[in-house]
Amino acid sequence: MTNKTESIILGGGCFWCLEASYQLIRGVTKVAPGYAGGDDASPTYEKVCSGRTGHAEVVKVEFDPAEINLAQILDIFWTIHDPTTLNRQGYDIGTEYRSLIICDQNQLEIVQSSIEGGKKIWGKNITTELMTEGEFYQAEIEHQDYFAKHPEQAYCQIVINPKLQKLRDQYASLLR
């Protein structure tokens, strides 16, 4: 592993799903659930779920580009959520569940190319919001490592497990 890591902020529904998925990926050094994309400087889970902060549930994915590149991180993103549904993922409905990418200027070209690829994968318009700057606010401790701590919880069984199986089926070569 190199000493240089990159990071990107991704929103694709419930942050528990994204966190559990990216934690399986070789080269991902850290995944932190949190909030981003809004204007509240002190978001909490309750405030974000109210829909009044402008924030989405997101994960900050840190990765070693010597082991996995940004395009691969984004390919996984298009696989583990539906970027064609505005402000929802399954039964999770609201702006806090929107599809969102927050990248830096150095990543912009790769992200834009990936969005075009996502349109081809899904065969319809992508609703993913793209931002080149935005503050990340880490979620409360009870939301960190949620799937690992609660694998038998109903939401984990019904929503997260099928996403993880899809990830295992399609990206076995990238798994730890």
Which residues are catalytic, by number? 14
3-class SS of residue 71: helix
User: From CA 103, how far away is CA 115, in angstroms rounded?
Assistant: 13
- CA–CA distance, 173 with 152 (Å, rounded to integer): 26
How big, in percent rounded to 5, are the helix, strand and coil portions of the chain?
A: 40, 20, 35
**CA–CA gap between residue 98 and residue 127 (Å, rounded):** 8
